[in-house]
């Protein structure tokens, strides 16, 4: 049989909590922690693929420049080692 949900109030929940055993309170605490965790996950920023693509393009150019500079430094170090 289907029953309609009871109206929720802070006071009735507090009264119900007062009647629970320690183990039941632990389960309630675990459920509250789960609700908080789920709420945090839902508030995460959703990234726009177009924005990510633009960022990738922007940083790819910078990465290429740094890699080329690094290769020049690496070539100089190799040459110095050959001289020793």
The pLDDT of 68-74, averaged and rounded, is 78
Question: Residue 23 has what pLDDT?
Answer: 95
Task: Kindly state the average pLDDT of the residues 22-45.
Answer: 88
pLDDT tens digit string along 41-69? 776 767 788 888 888 888 888 888 888 77
- 6 CB contacts (<8 Å, ≥6 apart)? 12
**Domain boundaries, given as residue ranges, for the chain:** 9-44, 46-84
Contact 26, 17 (CB under 8 A): no
pLDDT > 70 fraction of the chain, expressed in percent and rounded = 89
Mean pLDDT of 3-32: 89
Instruction: Compute the distance between CA of residue 69 and CA of residue 46 in angstroms, rounded to an integer.
Output: 35
Q: What is the pLDDT of residue 72?
A: 76
């Amino acid at each position: 049989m289907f029953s309609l949900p009871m109206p929720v109030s802070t006071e009735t929940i507090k009264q119900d909590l007062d009647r629970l055993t320690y183990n039941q309170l632990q389960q309630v605490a675990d459920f509250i922690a789960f609700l908080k965790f789920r709420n945090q996950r839902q508030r995460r920023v959703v990234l726009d693929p177009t924005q990510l693509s633009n960022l990738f393009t922007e940083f790819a150019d910078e990465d290429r420049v740094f890699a080329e500079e690094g290769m020049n430094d690496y070539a100089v170090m190799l040459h110095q080692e050959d001289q020793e």
